[in-house]
Amino acid sequence: MKIVTITNRKGGTAKTETARALAGGFILNGYKVLLIDLDAQRNLSLTMQANTEAKGVYNLLMGDFEKVAELIQKTPQGDIIAASELLYTVDKKIATPFILKEKLKAVKGYDYIIIDTAPGFNALTAAAMVTADGLIIPTQADLYSLSALKEIREETESLKEYNKGLKIYGLCITRYANNRISRDMKASLEAAAQLIGAKVYKTSIRECVAVKEAATTGKSIFDYAPKSNAAKDYTELVAEILGDIAGQITKGKIT
């Protein structure tokens, strides 16, 4: 089982949309996937139409459960351990960065766990990074995202004391506009990523209104608008990521 954490200190980089799309793409390729929402804003949980009042991530972290299966909600988009507003109180209660890793040992039967994190860097994000086999960093092709790369690298290095195998799988450019400025910034991101030992995925996710529309319907982008630019882009991105992580081509074809 591989654990992938989606993270970026910067907000507005489509972390939640990316987590949801990757999970949907992995599932369509025959993998069993569990999503975990570590953001107290609950955006991932709400767009998946999960019950954020039921037991979820907070209870997982606090050990308030008998079997982890009681925390997993099955939705039309996939399985999730949902967030709640109680997560706003968790930071002060986390005594060790290993807390999430220890709790997830009880999870069985999945090929991948995908963790969505909040913007910024806090104890929950640190726990998600310590738990992960690797990070995927959604980012935009702009100056602010370029300047955030140094912080991302510093955070990753600081946590290798607790997770020696932690790596950055790659940076995924989202909300991409194919113009000269974006192309120039993408080239700058690729150069900066090389300096920190990371890569920028070849596939950029173009800006597409269908992504937001899909979120309001409770459907994945592949079900809601399979012929949209976003669905095509995420299909290619999923193939890239699975090729890197699993070391093999995708099992099936997303149509």
* 248 located within any domain: no
What is the reported pTM? 0.92
CATH number, domain containing residue 214: 3.40.50.300
Number of domain units in the chain: 1
**Quick check: helix, strand or coil at residue 3?**
strand
* 253 located within any domain: no
pLDDT score of 251: 46
Phi, psi of 141 (to 5 degrees): -85, 70
pLDDT score of 142: 77
* 9 located within any domain: yes
Neighbour-count burial of 63, counting CB atoms closer than 10 A to its CB (0-12 exposed, 13-18 middle, 19+ buried) = exposed
Domain of residue 129 covers 2-242
* 12 located within any domain: yes
DSSP letter assigned to residue 176: B
pLDDT tens over the chain, length 255 residues: 999 999 988 888 899 999 999 999 999 999 999 999 999 999 999 999 999 999 999 999 999 998 999 999 999 999 999 999 999 999 888 888 999 999 999 999 999 999 999 988 889 999 999 999 999 999 887 777 777 777 888 888 888 889 998 889 999 999 888 788 888 888 888 888 887 778 899 999 998 899 889 988 888 999 999 999 999 999 999 999 999 887 644 444 433
* 251 located within any domain: no
Give the tokens for residue 241: 């990521």
* 252 located within any domain: no
* 250 located within any domain: no
* 136 located within any domain: yes
* Angstrom distances, CA of residue 206 to CA of 12, 141, 142, 177: 14, 11, 14, 6
- Kind plus residue range of the DSSP H or E element containing 102: helix 99-103
| CA–CA separation, 98 and 210 (whole Å) | 38
